[in-house]
Amino acid sequence: MDLSTTYLGLKLPHPFMPGASPLVDKLDVVKRLEDAGAAAIVMHSLFEEQIAREEWATFRHTETHGESFAEALSYFPSPEKFALGPEEYLDHIRRVKSSVGVPVIASLNGTTLGGWLDYSRLMQEAGADALELNVYSLPSNPDETSQNVEDRTVEMLKAVKEAVKIPVAVKLSPFYTALSNFAQRLDEAGADGLVLFNRFYQPDIDPHELTVVRTLALSDSSELPLRLRWLAILAGRTRASLAVSGGVHTSMDAIKTVMAGAHAVQLVSALLQQGPELLVALRREVEEWMEEMEYRSLEQMQGSLGLRSAPDPTVYERANYMLILQSWREQNP
Amino acid sequence: MTSRKITIDGNEAAASTAYRINEVCAIYPITPSSNMGEWADEWAAKGLPNIWGKVPEVVEMQSEGGASGAVHGSLQGGALTTTFTASQGLLLMIPNMYKIAGELTAYCMHVAARTVATHALSIFGDHSDVMACRQTGFALLASGSIQEVHDFAVIGQAASLRSRVPFLHFFDGFRSSHEVVKINELTDDDLRHMMDDALIQEHRKRALTPDRPVLRGTAQNPDTFFQSREACNRFYLECAAHVTEAMERFAQRTGRRYRLFDYVGHPAAERVIVMMGSGAETAHEMIECLAAKGEKVGLVKVRLYRPFSIDSFMAALPATVTGIAVLDRTKEPGAVGEPLYLDVITALREARETGVSPLKKDPRVIGGRYGLSSKEFTPAMTKAVLDELDASKPKNHFTVGIVDDVTHTSLKVDPELDIDADDRVRAVFYGLGSDGTVGANKNSIKIIGEETDNHAQGYFVYDSKKAGAVTISHLRFGPRPIRSTYLIRKATFVACHQFEFLDRFDVLELAVPGAVFLLNAPFPKDKVWDSLPLEVQEQIIAKKIKFYAIDAYSVAKDTGMGTRINTIMQTCFFAISGVLPREEAIAKIKKAIEKTYGKRGQEIVKRNFAAVDTTLDHMHEIKVPAKPTTARRRPPIVADAAPDFTKRVQAVMMVGKGDTLPVSAFPFDGTWPLSTTRWEKRNIALDIPVWDSEVCIQCNQCALVCPHAAIRAKIYDPDLLAQAPATFKSTDYKSLDLKGLKYTIQVAPEDCTGCGVCVHICPAKDKANPKHKAINMAPQRPLRATERENYAFFLGLPDIAREKIKRVDVKGSQFFTPLFEYSGACAGCGETPYVKLLSQLFGDRALIANATGCSSIYGGNLPTTPYCSNRDGRGPAWSNSLFEDNAEFGFGMRLAVDANADQARRLLKALSAKLGGNLIQEILDADQGDEAGIARQRQRVDLLRSDLAKLDLPGARQLESLADYLVRKSVWIVGGDGWAYDIGYGGLDHVLAMGRKVNVLVLDTEVYSNTGGQASKATPMGAAAKFAMAGKDLGKKDLGLLAMSYGNVYVATVAMGAKMNQTVQAFLEADAYPGPSLIIAYCHCIAHGYDLLYGLDQQKRAVESTLWPLYRFDPRRIAAGEPPLKLDSGKGKASVAEYMQNETRFRMVEKINPERFRDLLERAGRLAAQRFAVYQQLAGIKVPRASTGGDAEQPTAPAKD
């Protein structure tokens, strides 16, 4: 069965790959992923904000106390190789690149235009085959308009595209007022791929301690429908290829995303739970199902149930909320 | 000859040479020499080879004694070996030095000469340590300038290889070890030129090897030792010639010519000074100046002090000399004279006898002391010494540089005389340690030294506080070489980087007329002038000072630099000092920033660049009016209520004028009063805690964790509030047993360091607004006056009687007055809360032996000290002996206390018939197990005293003097991990094994904190430290388990941030336990690399991850049939990784080598799990009660109190 797909212009034997996560921090896990047949390796994100903060904090913690007291002009050794900044991440790209044969997609979350540009270039230099721009910001400032938010991202993308030669994907959150339009603008700005969607840490409240705490639960298949909808809406409308991230746990989940239009299927929670070897089973099951259903190739299935070719496209649009609500009432008088 | 110009300090200059010509370096950190070892370690870690292509092996030992043993062994093994040390460290090396010399071993060690502790410790420079080595048989080679330090390091070693006499190369601690100047670097080829391969071969041939076995270290008897000892004479007789030869060879190569004794001055000099070390540079400067004017004066700089070559010395003296003044930088009480003086006298006498003296007539010779503990030695003092030689009756055995109004040894010095050259920029900068002033100045020196033809010199003065430390930088730049080894006395540029200093120091005192003054003032430019105190305005006007100001803190804030203002002030300096053209200077500052921080992170570079770029727009020249515009004078240094001694002596020291105090101001045996930090109001906190009594749950955790005793709790009678200031806060005390009292949490606004630890730990939150706690930080300035008044009222409230506190836990303990307050420890210090707790629980009956280290510095460094007494006049009796001997020192205190108590009991029994009644028996049988018992015993002793007063018997008088010993004393042995795990471990082990009632508190920061973060055996696996740069790959020594193995030692680990009550409990149990006790306390530290606000959180993580399990091992439980070990903590939420990722010391390793770090992390986790498993098993083991003596059931020695 021909499962091949093209994602970010990369010709891949099949669409399954690990999504951005700490999974790939360990080289032996990366090797296992490759052995399990991962079509590509997506690295966890480099966070510009974190780098800047750590650089500054380390500077403060190591320098503030120095040159203050006659007996101790410093409190730390000063190793030559002690490089803060993106070095650790870039080194990891190099190590992953040298240990696997599949494409390596680096992931970046920037906070400044300079950061996006510098780190993109550095990632390319370190050997990344493609970039995933993890556009993550929470516009809590009431003075910031949706237009600002989108314009900034588009400008950033244009600049990065000019700065690097490797393909660039944009990983989005579902929280845009006009996602179709925004996707189109990104497409026009040169995005080689769109990844739907990012998952965020969410706040929770500890009522005993009167504190707000951070949580990040693993995904499950219930998160898939949101992604199916947007894949379907965008399928065939963008030059950029599409990837799904979040909610794919079974081969049937995967098949659905491809039908909705995904060129690449990224998994994180499922791999964390079941190990890299899940990729082998997934691929086999998809293949078996397709054979049973007499598909010729994955391409034939890709986007078949998108907005453009689905038998009842209105289901993807706003009306479906009403329908479900009504059908539920009918069943439960 | 191409030689690079480098701008470095003396330590680096020495290490740079020594490192490249040695194969092994065994060291131990000690101020001011630590940096030499650190450089060597750093270079070795970077893989820098010596001149033979090998990376020298650098090892840190457990003490200088250990280092010198390792050196001795390595030399015997045939390796070229060196070490770096100073002061007490050098003393510890002496036994091996005798051996190394006795075996005629080629070796050169490098010493940053430092004062040996006598009536007090001093980290500063003089020759008392080196002079203590005169008998060892080492050659002593003295450097005066930084260039000499660099050069003599190889001359010494070359001469040693040829002569086989080992060399001690020394230079003045701080003045030379820390002075930064521009010098010519010796190339590897220069060093190769000096190191004779054939001699190195011979050195190796003498090595101990089984392939050519010989035997050394025999024991000899009266028949042979003497002759054997004399067999080495030939080598000493020839040594001086070998040094001359090495100096000549060096001169041929480098053009820098040195002699055994270098003469400077008039060729027909009549009056000559003889001296060595950095002071000779100053004398050189003065004498050149005088000789140029035709004065017949000269200077002999002693280079090779041992072996002392009489011929060379005499050859250095002009035949015209009629008077010689010999200056010694050491003191030998009781001697006829100081060592160099005696040598010169003897040399002159022998030279006359043997006819080698060129002198036409016997000169007058006088000797004097100067410069002890880095006391300034100036041109004016040089002049005073020369003048004294002209006096009709010159003083002999004089002192110069102080006023001795007791024995009148001191010479009069002209305070106005200054010869600092006019063609030099002389700049003085007042800064805070934390604002980065010194770092930026070092950087400026490098820029000017290495990028221009100018000569540059920098010297930095630090106070001894660890929080809010003041630094004063002295920078000289000029076209000619700079020999001025003294502080700038007339400055052409003065910068004050902290506005507050204007109220504390006379910063313009040094400014010459027409000087430039740069001030960091937190005001708009039109408000700056009026905000100055009158004294400053007057000086600016009188001296016609050009005045510039900048609000550097707002520039720093706007550019993301926080409170780091150094690059901003540096930019201002370059812009107005005219040392370099503005644009060029800014470009060079940026280049230096990029070079320093580029690798550490672009964020740092970016922010610094932004700061540099915006600075000049914010700097303004301030128009100086013709007359002062303010009446505001500087506030008094100490309050009027301060004791006389504090006002007369300590206040002078506080403003940096201690140099002016005469001998009569001081106690003659180093004894100082308690309770003095309370008079030094430093006002260093930007924000202080403010209490909200409505939200407070009265847990007293804030008071417990405060490192500076600056937030306190009190309960008191409501009637007392009648006199309270209007803003004094109070609330009903919530308690079951002490009803009807009022409760207050009060901050000491002027003593708080603003660390915020109290607010961070506060568990009480406002339900409607949880951001608001029961204490919250608020700006100090607006609160200062009212809270000062409130605090004074609070202190005046009576303390609750100790015996009324029934439950001594976190809450109860904080109603005991701290007898350790406002120390100079770091803001957020992890050690001092334990010390303070100790002082609260036992301070009124405690003797404390304190090992040298952070705790002895914040505990005993002048001008003011934190231990204090309570209203009854009782408080901790504290002393610091040494670093290595602290357990024994405290043990000795216990012996004395027991001896005195025994004698008191004996006398009591003897007088019982005369005294009558039950009192005697009650005293003898008293249960002093708790505060109530102690209070009752004190009452009994008071009664006894009044009874004794009525008895006219010698025994009664004796008993009166000893009666206080009938009240139980608590002996505490306090020190850091460097002491307990390393240098003092042997003694600690012995003292624990002695079974006597001493309590040991180990303040474990897991690193040598005071000397700057060197690894100790307490350093945990995976942590980077100096000498463990790549991350320590062995686990932390388990000191507690070792102590437990004795079976009769009470052992506890504590971590206040994890379980506060367990900490209090462990302290109480340790004191109550009738044998030795050991408490190992987790202390967060600035050397861990994170914001200490989170120190207690990290403690909790350490405990939860099982890296720091809490336990109490109490041998008394054996008798009860229980396991003696009780685990007080288990595996909690936090993981080893979570703990480690929060601290730079671990993160650094991860950044250097992530793979290695992952391995270390995994191993650290495994190790922690294994260790914890061992404790878990031990906690389940019941020890059988032995039926006969010598068991673990009871402490081996009876309790004596």
β-strand pairing of B304-306 with B139-142: antiparallel
Does this model's pTM top 0.90? My answer is: yes
Chain B touched by A61 (CB under 8 Å) = yes
- pLDDT digits over B221-278, tens only? 999 999 999 999 999 999 999 999 999 999 999 999 999 999 999 999 999 999 999 9
Whole-number percent of chain A with pLDDT over 70: 94
With CB atoms and an 8 Å threshold, state whether A70 touches B32: yes
pLDDT at B1187: 52
With CB atoms and an 8 Å threshold, state whether B603 touches A51: yes
pLDDT at B916 over 90: no
Mean pLDDT value across chain B:
96
Whether B283 and B158 map to the same domain: the answer is no
pLDDT at B1026 over 50: yes
Residue B950, number of CB atoms within 10 A of its CB: 9
β-strand pairing of B1111-1113 with B1125-1127: antiparallel
Q: A278 to chain B nearest CA, in Å?
A: 26
pLDDT at B909 over 60: yes
pLDDT at A317: 75
B1078 assigned to some structural domain: yes
Here the tokens at position B763 are 């568990």
Q: Which fold has domain A5-331?
A: TIM Barrel (3.20.20)
Whether B712 and B776 map to the same domain: the answer is yes
Residue B1010 designated active-site: yes
Whether B1021 and B933 map to the same domain: the answer is no
Q: Which of B64, B103, B931, B1104 is catalytic?
A: B64
Chain A touched by B31 (CB under 8 Å) = yes
pLDDT at B1193 over 70: no
Whether B739 and B785 map to the same domain: the answer is yes
Q: What angle do CA B835, B841, B845 make, to 5 degrees?
A: 95
- pLDDT digits over B563-605, tens only? 899 999 999 999 998 888 999 999 999 999 998 888 778 889 9
Measured distance CA(B69)–CA(B950) in Å, rounded: 61
Q: Which of B297, B324, B302 is nearest to B313 (CA)?
A: B302
Q: B11 to chain A nearest CA, in Å?
A: 12
Whether B310 and B438 map to the same domain: the answer is no
- pLDDT digits over A113-170, tens only? 888 999 999 999 999 999 999 998 788 899 999 999 999 999 999 999 999 999 999 9
With CB atoms and an 8 Å threshold, state whether A78 touches B1013: no
Judged by DSSP in three states, B745 sits in strand
Q: A183 to chain B nearest CA, in Å?
A: 32
pLDDT at A25: 87
Q: Please report how the helices B34-45 and B10-20 are oriented relative to each other, as an axis angle in degrees rounded to 10.
A: 50
Measured distance CA(B443)–CA(B612) in Å, rounded: 14
Residue A221 DSSP label:
G
Q: Residues of A numbered 83-142 whose beta carbons fall under 8 angstroms of chain B's beta carbons: which are they?
A: 83-85, 87-88, 91-92, 118
- pLDDT digits over B1089-1102, tens only? 999 999 999 999 99
pLDDT at B303: 98
pLDDT at A322: 52
Mean pLDDT value across chain A:
90
pLDDT at B100 over 60: yes
CATH of the domain at B531: 3.40.920.10
With CB atoms and an 8 Å threshold, state whether A67 touches B1148: no
Within B164-261, residue ranges assigned H as helices are 188-194, 197-205, 225-230, 233-254
Whether B48 and B133 map to the same domain: the answer is yes
Average pLDDT over residues B716-738: 95
Whether B249 and B267 map to the same domain: the answer is no
pLDDT at A332: 41
Domain with B729, as residue range(s), is 672-816
Average pLDDT over residues B718-739: 95
Q: Which of B25, B105, B103, B106 is nearest to B68 (CA)?
A: B25
B454 assigned to some structural domain: yes
- pLDDT digits over A226-248, tens only? 999 999 999 999 999 999 999 99
pLDDT band at B2 (very low <50, low <70, confident <90, very high): low
Q: Chain B partners of A54 at a C-beta cutoff of 8 Å?
A: 601, 1147
pLDDT at B34: 97
Here the tokens at position B508 are 């313009």
* Bigger pLDDT: B628 vs A22: B628
Whether B240 and B354 map to the same domain: the answer is no
B858 assigned to some structural domain: no
Q: Chain B partners of A61 at a C-beta cutoff of 8 Å?
A: 1086, 1089-1091, 1144
pLDDT at B942: 97
Average pLDDT over residues B531-550: 98
Q: Chain A partners of B10 at a C-beta cutoff of 8 Å?
A: none
Q: Which of B88, B112, B95, B122 is nearest to B168 (CA)?
A: B112
| Lookup result for tokens 């002695």 | B994
pLDDT at B198 over 90: yes
pLDDT at B1190: 41
pLDDT at A333: 35
Asked if B29 and A72 count as a contact pair (C-beta separation under 8 A), the reply is: no
Asked if B40 and B56 count as a contact pair (C-beta separation under 8 A), the reply is: yes
CATH of the domain at B1022: 3.40.50.970
Whether B16 and B115 map to the same domain: the answer is yes
Here the tokens at position B1083 are 């202390």
The domain tally of chain B equals: 6
Chain A touched by B603 (CB under 8 Å) = yes
- pLDDT digits over B299-332, tens only? 999 999 999 999 999 999 999 999 999 999 999 9
Whole-number percent of chain A with pLDDT over 90: 73
pLDDT at B624: 97
Measured distance CA(B324)–CA(B317) in Å, rounded: 10
Average pLDDT over residues B1141-1153: 92
ipTM: 0.94
pLDDT at B1: 47
- What ranges do the domains of chain A cover? 5-331
Chain A touched by B642 (CB under 8 Å) = no
Here the tokens at position A85 are 């900044």
> Long-range pairs for B409-412 at CB < 8 Å and ≥24 separation?
B409/B368, B409/B369, B410/B663, B411/B368, B411/B381, B411/B384, B411/B385, B411/B387, B412/B384
Average pLDDT over residues B1024-1029: 95
Measured distance CA(B890)–CA(B879) in Å, rounded: 9
B321 assigned to some structural domain: yes
With CB atoms and an 8 Å threshold, state whether B42 touches A76: no
Number of inter-chain CB pairs under 8 A, A vs B: 164
Which residue from B minimizes the CA distance to A72? B1012
Which residue from B minimizes the CA distance to A206? B770
B584 assigned to some structural domain: yes
Whether B47 and B159 map to the same domain: the answer is yes
Q: Which of B781, B816, B851 is the last residue of a domain?
A: B816
CATH of the domain at B713: 3.30.70.20
Residue B64 designated active-site: yes
pLDDT at B1186 over 70: no
Whether B433 and B326 map to the same domain: the answer is no
| Helix or strand holding residue B222 (H, E) | none
Whether B1041 and B920 map to the same domain: the answer is no
